[in-house]
Structure 1
Amino acid sequence: MARLNYVEMATADTARDRAFYEAAFGWAMTAYGPSYAATTTGDVDLGIDGDLPAGTAPLPVIEVDDLEAAQVMVEAAGGVVTVAAFGFPGGRRFHFADPSGNLLAVMQAG
């Protein structure tokens, strides 16, 4: 099973933008250090990342059951891995470009 479960966006000021999303939409956001915060609803969540360059396009993240199998399928379908698999709080993921150059990530919880 694969489903969109996360969107990660750049922020120039994590605290400011966290306060904005909490006030504007009533979302509770968890801080994961000084430069990262995210909703943790278990549905499609939003992460804001102060370490990304300003103006970076949002990064859709697709959740899968088997990260290695997903990478094989992405590459076989014409995708290009741009960031090798790495661990993060909540699991592992890799980034890829689709045939049109759009950047996405695939993650496996765990």
Structure 2
Amino acid sequence: MTAPDQHAGVRYLVDDVQAAIDFYTTHLGFTLNHDAAPAFADVVRGPLRLLLSGPASSGTRATPADAAGAGRNRNHLIVDDLDTEITRLRAAGAAFRSDTVSGPGGRQILLADPAGNLIEIFQPTSRP
């Protein structure tokens, strides 16, 4: 089990490890932790470690073919100003998968990485 002082890891299956590294480090503030491209890399943002597994990685090979597509699960990244982030990401050519949605906890929009994995960009409601 992961120790409390270690990063929590989430594996994302990607078609192109270098494209995923570029996307997460350039657009979402992750830093490159380990690069074994083209098979694998991991990037870190705060306590989150994304394991970017390309077609040649053991993580991808261990996944049954019928379970290999991007699902409805997603990473949840909190931002201070959603509108500013949307403008910045659109200008960079990012692929959004939803319109902005508002709810009791805040506002969000879904973004896709180059492999189609989802990222929720979320601005919480101000609390008094």
For normalisation by structure 1, the TM-score amounts to: 0.45
The answer to which structure has the higher strand fraction is: 1
Structure possessing the higher relative contact order (Cα contacts under 8 Å, 6 or more residues apart): 1
For normalisation by structure 2, the TM-score amounts to: 0.40
Larger Rg: 2
